[in-house]
Chain A
Amino acid sequence: MFRSKATTALALAAVALAAATACTPSSPDKPVAPSAVEPSGSVELWHFFTDREEKAIETVIADFKAKYPKVDVVVKGGQDDTKMLQAIGAGQGPDVGLSYSTDVAGQLCNSGAWIDLKPYVDRDKVDVGRYPETVRSYTQFKGKRCAMPFLADAYGLYYNKAFFGEAGVTAPPKTLSELSDLAKRLTKRKPDGTIERAGFLPLAGFYENSPSHMYPMVGARWLKDDNTSAVGSDPAWQELLRWQKELVDWFGYDKLEKFRASLGDEWSADNAFHKGQVAMMIDGEFRIAFLRDQAKDVQFGTAPVPVTRAERYGAGYVTGNILGVSKTAKNPEAAWALVRYLSTDTAAIVKLANLIKNIPTTTEALASPGDLANDAEFKVFIDIFNNPHSVHMPSTAIGPALEETMSDFMVKWQSGSAKDLEAGLRQVDENIDKQLKLAS
């Protein structure tokens, strides 16, 4: 009796496991047409933009439809990378995906969620050499070109010119010590000691204060040559974190947290810089459009982020939005046509860059970016983008886990719950390496 029950249970388990294996994704590669074909049919594009920026995308998609009248593009805005990956895994999702960040390029390429575009690039003789080296680098993973660049972002320092004028400051800070001095001078406190205005809010996790946006200030490294974590062994990380902690302690961590808790959402009109609650902050070039749209009275200036070594001044963190064709694309030829248009058509790139106020990615568009060339504040970011010392996050199979592991430690360090910096960074090394090993 027992034996027959056990046999039945085992048989049922075997059937379930067989079903589990059968119900997992397969990899049906769709053949690439030997020569360029006229694209037709329907294509679905998922992107993350909303509101004003979403309208800009729609304008350029209308241009694409005019150029390729046989292609119908269904656009879905407000999507994020995680959702896109889940949809592709479920055998659905978009034909074309527009990812927010280059952090996930490794994940999307490594998993094959986005197909290798090399056959299309070669067939249509697309010259990837027209993109700067940084852009070429962040759109591929281990030599596999599974993404094409959309627009790019560069990060710099925003400062409030009115507050600078009040304090008699004539130029933005160029070194970390200058940034600290200015942050202290521009900070206003209430009689009870609480912060009314922060010269610079140094808390990691505040708006765009992430490790990736801050590490160019000290020229730190993420990975060693053998692709293991370099965080614990690179003294530049200690330099950055000690500087940050010194400034946090000057404010008082609790006071800073209380001040931060009273600030508005980063992506709303209540952004602290819009409201004059912070005098300087790190942000991307896209903030210019938000400021001019939502805070017209704020007189602001832009500059590269302050650095520890003079030769690095002018460089910063660069990243970009990337486009790819999903593994599950129902119409890969039309999907590729859309990707090619959005990533190589200079007129379309310049138009989008001007509408969204992002950095164009091709060398032609960078040389003649339209009205952006006459915008002194924006030009700062184009220069950061073109700076040879500018950096981007390395692509790994663990995607955002690389940065977020570091970010978790920075939060502990600034609050004082982590006391030993060297040991903490070594632990970060260990945690990153274990995750890389798991994903290998």
Chain B
Amino acid sequence: MAVSTVRAPGRLPGAPPARRTMPRRVRLRRNLTVLSFIAPALVGLALFLGYPLLASVYFSFTKFDLVNPPEWVGLRNWAFLRDDPNVRTAAANTLWLVVVMVPARMLGAMCTGLLLARFRSGAGIYRTLFYLPALAPPVAATLAFVFMFKPGTGPVNTMLATVGIEGPLWFNSPEWAKPSLVLLALWGVGDLMIIFLAALLDVPKQLYEAAALDGANAWQQFRAVTLPAISPVLLFAAVTGVIQTLQYFTQAAVAASVASGQATTGGGISSTFGYPEKSTFTYPLWLYVAGFRYGALGYANVLAVVLFLVAIAVTAILLRRFRAFLGSDQ
């Protein structure tokens, strides 16, 4: 492959780089120009990430109830983290969802994408059909899902019964509630599927042809051609999936409230969080309950800081693992 070199205007071969000869004023002006372009993003980051993060760390050392000025209590909130029985349950549930739901969604999106990439006729219709559930608002989608899977009266168990299968209690069973949430996530996998589909359609055809000529079977082609080609999408799906699942809130809250049979307003929806038997009680739900239902905002900020640190750590680990998996050239 021919490589062309573009020479900087007015710069002779062998001359020192232009940067060294650039006058101080010009350099300053250039830096200010760059800064002015990135200033809106910097201001946004400082206001909506830096400030809340530092404020959250500060509040975690205070007694704060939203109403009164925070009162410094040192490490009391952090010490409670060790004794808090709810945090263990909530963290275990969230970890389960991260371990099961994220790979399930990635696999579901990739398999659907692979399937849709093969369609020749009617591809647009199928792509639309598979994408549509992702457009449903999470609350409405969860409501519909819980009613569909309602034991005894829901259509899913009724259909299973017609073929002689006794359906489980789904959202009403501590064993099945989390898998039911995974099914809900798989139903709405269209958002991720569309990204996988774009990546799969982008894989050069000649690579498959070359692999086929070399005698590679379908699995070998997938392993040696498809996977490396879509690896940036895999990384994206893993990182965003983990972060989203660490913040999993709406579906767990709505499913618990509706399945408990107490979708009441007076006591607040948060009184039913975790139903059944705390099996859907995720970390962000506990953070919300501690802060806004029990009025322990200082402690809720401890939970928020821990969640942030875990998200950062998991992201860093994922990035490292992916680099190792893909090799240094990727």
Contacts and interface: CB of A to CB of B under 8 A. Distances in A.
Interface of A: 12-13, 16-17, 19-21, 23-27, 48-50, 78-83, 85-86, 88-90, 100-101, 107, 110-113, 205-207, 257-258, 260-267, 327, 397-401, 404, 408, 411-412, 415, 417, 427, 431, 434-435, 438-439
B133 to A, nearest CB: 24
Given A262-B151, A399-B294, A400-B293, A111 B54 contact: no
Given A267-B263, A415-B277, A17 B54 contact: yes
A262 B154 CA distance: 9
B80 A438 contact: yes
16 contacts: A12-B50, A16-B55, A25-B68, A50-B265, A85-B67, A111-B295, A112-B68, A205-B260, A207-B261, A262-B151, A266-B261, A327-B67, A400-B294, A412-B277, A439-B63, A439-B296
A17 B83 CA distance: 28
B283 interface: no
A205 B66 contact: no
A257 B263 contact: no
Interface string B269-306: 11100011110000000000000111110010000000
A263 B77 contact: no
B189 to A, nearest CB: 26
A82 B268 contact: yes
Contact of B261 (A17, A265, A415): A265
B268 A262 contact: no
Contacts of A83: 268
Nearest to B69: A24
Given A24-B69, A438-B77, A207 B172 contact: no
Contact of A439 (B84, B277, B295): B295
B251 interface: no
Given A257-B169, A404-B271, A48 B266 contact: yes
B264 interface: yes
B275 A205 contact: yes
A113 B67 contact: yes
B102 to A, nearest CB: 27
B85 interface: yes
B130 interface: no
Given A112-B67, A113-B67, A257-B169, A438 B76 contact: yes
A353 B280 CA distance: 38
A253 B299 CA distance: 36
Contacts of A415: 174, 277
B66 to A, nearest CB: 3
Given A19-B51, A263-B261, 7 more contacts: A50-B265, A80-B267, A111-B67, A205-B275, A261-B152, A401-B294, A427-B85
B196 interface: no
A46 B314 CA distance: 43
Contacts of A49: 266
A20 B58 contact: yes
Contacts of A101: 266-267
Contacts of B77: 438
B104 to A, nearest CB: 24
Contacts of B85: 427, 431
Contact of B70 (A13, A19, A24, A399): A24
Given A112-B68, A417-B277, A81 B268 contact: yes
B165 to A, nearest CB: 15
Contacts of B268: 80-83, 100
B173 A257 contact: yes
Contacts of A439: 63, 294-296
Contacts of A398: 294-296
Given A50-B265, A111-B295, A88 B260 contact: no
Contacts of A266: 261-262, 264
Nearest to A80: B268
B64 interface: yes
Contacts of B59: 20
Contacts of A20: 51, 54-55, 58-59
A420 to B, nearest CB: 16
Contacts of B67: 25, 85, 88-89, 111-113, 327
A113 B259 CA distance: 32
B292 to A, nearest CB: 5
Nearest to A265: B261
Contacts of B299: 438
Given A25-B67, A408-B278, A417-B277, A13 B54 contact: yes
Interface in B146-205: 150-153, 169, 172-174
Interface centre among A12, A16, A17, A90 (most CB of B within 10 A): A16
Contact of A100 (B50, B63, B266): B266
